[in-house]
Each structure stands twice: as structure tokens, then as C-alpha cells.
Amino acid sequence: MYFGLSEEQTFFQDNVKKFLDDQAPLDVIRQITAEKNTSIQEEIRQGLTNLGLNALLIPEEYGGLGLDLLFAAAVSEGLGSGVAPIAYSGSYVMAPLAIIHGGSDAQKENYLTKIASNTVKFGIGLSEYIGAREDAKLIINGNKVNGKALFVIDADDASHFILSDDQGTMFIVDADDSGLEVIELTSIDKTRSYVEILLNNVTAEILDNTVKNNNAIEKTIDAGRIMLAADSVGAAQVMIDKSVEYAKERKQFGRVIGSFQAVKHMCAEMTAELEPCYAIVWHAAHCFDYIPEEARLLACQSKSHISEVTKMVAKKATEVHGGMGFTDLLGLHYWFKRIGMNRQLLGSPELVRDEAGKIQGF
């Protein structure tokens, strides 16, 4: 019995973190979020692709690494800790899983090989299935789709999108289709991109095994939620580490503020709440592949619970930094906003808990 990340998973995660520390320090993040699509962002994307991020979950028969979701979660934690300005959860976790679980053999052969070789890149938008805002809706008619998809994630650079109607039927559209319009949404989180897509008689390739049942879309959303939760855990840990570091240096009233219980107790509270979050998100990722009967509840509860804990951490960590925490200069807000975004994506905590209730027949 062993509960935790393996040596390989830790090693890979460390490599991701180290890469981001070296290639995407705060001033680089700042530059990328201000200017968008800079060449430096492209270099970071390329570097992480070189590490194999795009191919993690693709089975070996399609040219991928054939790793499991816990591996992907370990990576996501690393990306969250570095507020990585790249697409991941949507493009390289949810999209491949949507195709693995929802695609025909031909679709798998076609798309999985191309994701692994980095010749296609997917954005994904399932908000119309999870909970439609602004009456957004997609109507499938034969092989044509009309309507609107909101909060499509990982859209920058995408050659294709995977979208869904409100019944959980997923389909692929080409980003170059003349009936497709991409409208950028400006969110608080500028490390990743979010868009709206308008579809006017766009040609859709329906994922064959998503028409009759919702298994594939549920797996895809579960995995996405686990990735976002892991990303938030990574981000929250950095916020705590920065708080502790700051509390050891900053002096007021002739002593370091970390010696005041008002401050040190905030650090202890953040740590005490975050520590079990590692366990539940790893547990959820492990069950996703190996203990399916426990997987759905764990996926929902890790997403909603971690959203709550990391929101608390984001607030308290900012407070520990005092006025500096509030400034752009310190840049702590990149982590604050990353956590804030992850919380709402693929279902805010209340929505996800409601789903957890339904899974248990409440």
C-alpha cells in the first residue's frame, strides 16, 4: 500500500516547476499577460511540449506516453504553482479523454495521434452542458451546429474545438470553419485564455460514443475538475510559502511579523486546511483510472472542497502580506486570480456539490 505521488510523478512535477521557475518567472508572466501571444509565450509552450505535456494521457499505440490521471494531476499542481501561461487542462487532459472515451476507433486514430505529435490543438467548452449562462445553447442538426458556447477554455492557438450540446453530445469543429467566430473574453486570470464561440451552420464531427450516453462527457468533466483542483492546490501552496517567507522577513514593532500569533496562526490555518487537499485530489485522480465506483464523487468533492479552501488561502495569504499583498508590484494577485478562475470553471462549488448529491441519490 502506498498513498502519494510516485518518484517518477514527483520528478516530472519538479521538472515542470523548475522549467517554469527558469523560463517563466514573475516578470515574464507579467509581460505575457500584458501583451498576449508573445514569442516568449510560444517558447514556454514549446518547452513544455518538449517535456511531453501534450502527450501524457495519449495511449502509447497512438504515440503518447500512456500515463494515468494522477500523473496529469501532479503536472497540473506544478503548473498551478508557477501560474503557467499555457493551455493544459482543456487541450491535453479533457480533449484527449473526450476522444478516448467518446470517439470511434477512426476518430481516436486520427486525433489522438495528432495531439501526441502536436499537429492539432484543441480548445474545449462544455459549459452549455454543465450550466448554461446567458441562455447560451448549441443545436446540432445532422452534421451542422448553430448557437453559442461560452467560456471555452484553452482556446489560444486552437486548431479545433470540442463543444457539447446540453444533452452531453460532444462534437469537434474546425477553428477555420467560415461559420465560426471566436470572441475573446477578458477575465481576471490573464495567464490562460477564455473565449466565446458563435457557430453559424458550422460543420461538426460528432464524437460517436457520446450520442447515446453521458459516460464520456462525465469522464471528461471529472478529469477537468481534478486538474483545476490540482492547479489550485499548487497555486495555494505557493501563496502560503510566500506568506511564510514574508512573515519571517517583514518587521513591525521591532520584531518579525511572523512572531505575532495573529499572523502565524493565519499561516497555520492555511496550512492545516490545504494539507488534506493534496490527499483528496490525488485520491480522486487515482480512482478516476483504477476505482471507478468511487471516482465521480471524489472528483466533484475534490473540486468543490479545494475551491473553498484555496479561496480562503488566497484571501489570508494576501492579508499576511499587508498592503504589499494588494499591489501589482508584488504580483501575488496572479495566484489569487488563478484560484478565483479555477473555482468557477466547470461548475462553481454549489453546482458541483449539487451534482455530488445527485451522484449519491440525495
Partner 1 sequence: MDLEYGKQYEDYRVEVQEFCKKYKGVQFNDTAKIPLASNNKSGGPVMSRSDWQKILIENGYFARSIPKEYGGYGGDSDIIKSRITATEFSNQRIPGPMGGQGIDMLVPTLLELGTEEQKNKFIKPTLHGEMIWCQGYSEPNAGSDLASLQTKGELIDDKWIINGQKIWTSTAQYAQMMFCLVRTEPEASKHAGISYLLVPMDTPGLEIRPLVDMTLQAGFNEVFFTDVTIPGKNIVGKRGEGWAVANATLGHERGSLANPNATMNRLNMLINRMKKETIDGKKLIEIPMYRDRLLKIQGKIMAFQSHALRILSSKLNPGQDVKIGKMIQKLVGTELRHELEGLGIDIMGELGTLYEDSPYLRDGGSWQFTYMYYLGLIIGGGTNQIQKNIISERGLGLPREPKVQGV
With cell 480548445, the residue in question is: 123
Asked if 80 and 228 count as a contact pair (C-beta separation under 8 A), the reply is no
Is residue 248 part of the contact set for partner 1 (CB under 8 A)?
Answer: yes
Q: Judged by CB, which is closer to partner 1: 132, or 351?
A: 351
Is residue 212 part of the contact set for partner 1 (CB under 8 A)?
Answer: no
With cell 467548452, the residue in question is: 125
- Choose one: 12-20, 103-111, 267-275, 310-318; the region binding partner 1 (CB under 8 A): 267-275
Is residue 5 part of the contact set for partner 1 (CB under 8 A)?
Answer: yes
Q: How far is the CB of 345 from partner 1 (least distance, A)?
A: 17
Is residue 17 part of the contact set for partner 1 (CB under 8 A)?
Answer: no
Q: CB burial class (10 A; 0-12, 13-18, 19+) of residue 106? A: exposed
How long, in residues, is the chain? 362
Contacts of partner 1 in 24-83 (CB under 8 A)? 70
Among 279, 324, 326, 327, binds partner 1 (CB under 8 A): 279
Asked if 60 and 96 count as a contact pair (C-beta separation under 8 A), the reply is no
Name the nearest CA neighbour of 77 among 252, 228, 268, 196.
Answer: 228
Give Cβ neighbours of residue 78 (< 8 Å, ≥ 6 apart): 12, 13, 14, 16, 17, 20, 84, 234
What is the size of the binding site for partner 1 (CB under 8 A)? Answer: 49
Q: How far is CA 178 from the centre of its chain?
A: 29
Q: Judged by CB, which is closer to partner 1: 36, or 248?
A: 248
Q: Which residues of 308-339 are buried (b: 16+ CB within 10 A; e: fewer)?
A: ebbbbbbebbbebbeeebeeeebbbbbbbbbb
Contacts of partner 1 in 292-351 (CB under 8 A)? 297-298, 301-302, 304-305, 308, 349-350
C-alpha cell at 68: 494515468
Q: Judged by CB, which is closer to partner 1: 180, or 346?
A: 346
Q: How far is the CB of 305 from partner 1 (least distance, A)?
A: 3
- Choose one: 17-25, 52-60, 112-120, 266-274; the region binding partner 1 (CB under 8 A): 266-274
Residues contributing to the site for partner 1 (CB under 8 A) = 1-6, 70, 244, 247-248, 255-256, 258-261, 264-265, 267-269, 271-273, 275-280, 282-283, 286, 290-291, 297-298, 301-302, 304-305, 308, 349-350, 353-354, 356-357, 362
